Amino acid sequence: MLAVQGPLARQRTATLLSSEAASAVMSLLPFHGAQIGDWFVARTGYTGEDGFEIMLPAGDAAKLWQGLNAAGVRSCGLGARDTLRLEAGMNLYGNDMDEHTNPLESGLAWTVAFAPTQRDFIGRAALELIRARGSEHKRVGLVLQERAVLRSHQRVIVSGGGEGEVTSGTYSPTLSRSIGLARVPISTGASVQVEVRGRMLPALTVRPPFVRHGRPLIQL
């Protein structure tokens, strides 16, 4: 699979397709896909940007990659993808959520269809109990106030003696700041301290996403 993401991703991909195929993929709504011969093209991605994810036979991949490069699309790896998904406030399984966490404390309550009330699903009873009593933790975004880099598993110290943990962290080129996601006590306020290499550094808590379509969404 190839992912082509960015403000011109769709248009530049379309130049490599037949007119009929280009028309089909350019008319796709977000989160929809189309079968184009042996290819499946979806208007999806894990970067917070618009674009396509293309599933295709292995034998076609190199030619498509080279064609995209020739069309002005620059190649990048998982590090760049991970920076973009973090700027977009997207969870990564194994970091920001796993089998030991629940969606209500992971910023994913919007994905749970509690209505209609008679609709049953695996885990509903447990989530209803958590929702009724209130979650003990919440997900927040962090913006580090000093020069350092946030990384997973760093301790987050909140006022009143509570403690949380950075679940994902990196340097944001868009914001020129280190940013992260953290799971913290529900009572956590607007500022915290993060332990970075033995030093306690100040950080602000914000509501993700940090960036959308290349533009900052938070006040620095």
At residue 160, the pLDDT reads 82
How far is Cα of residue 189 from the mean position of the Cα atoms in its chain?
23
Q: Considering its fold, how many domains does the chain have in total?
A: 2
Residue 85 maps to a domain: no
Q: Which residue stretches of the chain are H helix? A: 9-14, 19-26, 58-70, 78-87, 124-133
Q: For residue range 66-102, what is the model confidence (pLDDT) as tens digits? A: 999 999 999 999 999 999 999 999 999 999 999 999 9
Q: Which one, of 5, 14, 10, 12, lies nearest residue 48 by Cα? A: 5
Residue 69 maps to a domain: yes
Tokens of 11: 């248009």
What does pTM read for this prediction? 0.90
Residue with tokens 């674009």: 51
- Phi, psi angle pair for 148, to nearest 5°: -175, 180
| 56 and 106 fall within a common domain | no
Q: Are 204 and 191 in contact (CB under 8 A)?
A: yes
How far, in Å, CA of 124 to CA of 153, rounded? Answer: 29
Q: For residue range 132-145, what is the model confidence (pLDDT) as tens digits? A: 999 999 999 999 99
Q: For residue range 25-68, what is the model confidence (pLDDT) as tens digits? A: 999 999 999 999 999 999 999 999 999 999 999 999 999 999 99
Residue 96 maps to a domain: yes
Kindly report the CATH number assigned to the domain that includes residue 52: 3.30.1360.120
How far, in Å, CA of 213 to CA of 129, rounded? Answer: 37
Kindly report the CATH number assigned to the domain that includes residue 202: 2.40.30.110
| 69 and 174 fall within a common domain | no
| 197 and 149 fall within a common domain | yes
